[in-house]
Structure 1
Amino acid sequence: MKVNEMDYFVNIKGEGPPVVFLHGFTGDTSSWNEVVDRLTHRFTCISIDLIGHGRTDAPEDAERYQMAHAVEDVEAILARCGIGEATFVGYSMGGRVALQLAITRPHLVSHLILESASPGLLTEEERDARRVKDEALAEQILEHGMEEFVNFWEEIPLFETQKRLPATVQAEIRQGRLGQRPIGLANSLRGMGTGAQPSWWDHLSAMEIPVDLLVGELDEKFVGIAKRMKERNPRFTITSFSGYGHAIHVEEPQKFGTMIEDLLHKGGNTNGF
């Protein structure tokens, strides 16, 4: 659908209360397929290819990728779909988009489920340092192409646990990454990277909607982030998946889908899985 002069790919399946799924960096709507298939009998599932990813436009202008614009686009997609408010499930980069939407447009988000996501970096010094790293990676992608980038990306510690997946699943994930466009990923880093987005840590305490934080116990960095987020707002709940890493919905989609279904039915408040 065309929103804000951008062609977005949006996958809509099922009937019932709306649930919006936002993927992570290098992902697309297909990464949610197994999770969505568990939910379509009770919910309308809306998966969005974020700007620069999948089948959505990947403009040359890095400014168009700023998080504020991404949030505006998601808001426009909801309006086009006739949705007043929805539950949002966001993974990593998509979780940061969902969190900013919930903070800046709280009337649109009834329930927030964040998988391995953060409110950004706390200090300007941290953000400056991260922007330098993201710009270097963006230049690497543009200069050397997707295969060299994907080879590098597969080896970062964050995705170490994905090496336990069956070879066929790893090959499918790799092909999905290779199918992305260099300009889309590079500009996503520049506009939507953790260093580019505002810090929302000081806004967490004011959030009143249900917020569920899902983390893999082996992803120590994001387990720590989730604990610090809960310190800011004790109403948040943390669900830790034993034996899994950063991308729980990829490593164990059936178990992850069961948890999402449980949270949607019960409104959160689980302690572990």
Structure 2
Amino acid sequence: MLTHHVKQLDADKPTIILLHGFISDHTTFHLVEDDITNQGINVITVDLPGHGSDQSSYDEKWSMEFIANHIKKIVDYYQLKNVYLHGYSMGGRVALSFATQFPELLNGLILESASPGLANDEDKLSRIEVDHNRARYIQHVGMKQFVEEWSQLPLFKSQSMLSSEERERIKQMRLSQTPDGLSKALIDYGTGVQPSYWKALHALEVPTCIIVGSEDKKFIEIGKQMHESIKNSKFHIVNEAGHTIHVEQPTKFDTMIIDFILGGKLCQDNGKL
């Protein structure tokens, strides 16, 4: 079973499982947990393989199937019956993997700045090379330099608007990861090697909320395409946010999550976002 953290647990209440992105861990959701639990929703945050306090064996291949099976173990262990799965970025790819393998276990799916992977074999091979090179690079330069360079990626430009305290917290969270864990994560379940879920989207019947930030142009296009493929989905662009909506706009994030779980409103903002 993956290392996970339970905010509160009442098996009779709905539960949301939150999955973080690359070079992150369960603490990335510290701004949004309380408002969700205050509405009577159980929150479980997971440390994905190679991140946070995860104890997954390095002798195992951390494939998408491996991770999905371990998330299922969490659902089974707590005998959860009303489950919503959220995934951010890399965690969104994991969430889609779980949804395609165990749709009967989900009441809803939330995809934040997420992608179904690469559909083209040539693109996949190219990305595998990028992921392997990046894995070697992390080992070579160490966490301090890698975190500095990672933070400068255009994807995270909008985080410059966060408070200095939050930017420092994010930096320390990233620095707490390990080169070995991140390298294996890239090689075992990076974007290049993961299965493409584009074709599976048409068969997905789980109610799905797709959210992206208004400053995240690449994922706006990906989100639109996913929305067109998933019949029971709604697509929402969150204003004044980039790639990390749950960090940059936590109140808006909580509004959507709570309305989705308690009101059945897919990305419904009611003019509040």
Match of 1:52 in 2: 50
Secondary structure of 1:89's aligned partner: strand
Secondary structure of 1:38's aligned partner: helix
Match of 2:76 in 1: 79
- Corresponding residue to 1:185 among 182, 187, 190: 182
Secondary structure of 1:65's aligned partner: coil
Shift of 1:64: 2.1
- C-alpha distance in structure 2 between counterparts of 1:12 and 1:124, whole Å: 39
- Corresponding residue to 1:122 among 103, 119, 122: 119
1:52 partner letter: G
Match of 2:19 in 1: 22
Where structure 1 has 5 or more consecutive residues not aligned to the other structure, the ranges are none
Q: In terms of mean alpha carbon deviation, does 65-74 or 9-18 score higher?
A: 9-18
2:50 partner letter: G
- C-alpha distance in structure 2 between counterparts of 1:209 and 1:234, whole Å: 9
TM-score (norm 1): 0.93
- C-alpha distance in structure 2 between counterparts of 1:24 and 1:32, whole Å: 11
- C-alpha distance in structure 2 between counterparts of 1:256 and 1:235, whole Å: 20
**Residue 236 (structure 2) pairs with residue 242 (structure 1):** no
Shift of 1:217: 1.1
**Residue 135 (structure 2) pairs with residue 138 (structure 1):** yes
- C-alpha distance in structure 2 between counterparts of 1:203 and 1:22, whole Å: 20
- Corresponding residue to 2:5 among 4, 11, 22: 11
- C-alpha distance in structure 2 between counterparts of 1:181 and 1:96, whole Å: 21
Shift of 1:266: 2.0
1:192 partner letter: Y
**Residue 66 (structure 2) pairs with residue 69 (structure 1):** yes
1:23-73 per-residue CA deviation (whole Å, 9 max, x = no partner) reads 111111111122111111311111111111101125444x52211111111
Where structure 2 has 5 or more consecutive residues not aligned to the other structure, the ranges are none
TM-score (norm 2): 0.93
- C-alpha distance in structure 2 between counterparts of 1:234 and 1:74, whole Å: 25
Q: Are 2:31 and 2:247, in contact at CA under 8 Å, matched by a contact in 1?
A: no
Count of residue pairs brought into register by the alignment:
266
1:60-97 per-residue CA deviation (whole Å, 9 max, x = no partner) reads 44x52211111111111221222245100110111111
2:114 partner letter: A
RMSD: 1.5
Match of 1:36 in 2: 33
- Corresponding residue to 1:110 among 107, 110, 117: 107
Q: Are 2:114 and 2:219, in contact at CA under 8 Å, matched by a contact in 1?
A: yes
- C-alpha distance in structure 2 between counterparts of 1:200 and 1:9, whole Å: 26
Superposition map of 1:193-212 within 5 A? 193-212=190-209
Secondary structure of 1:257's aligned partner: helix
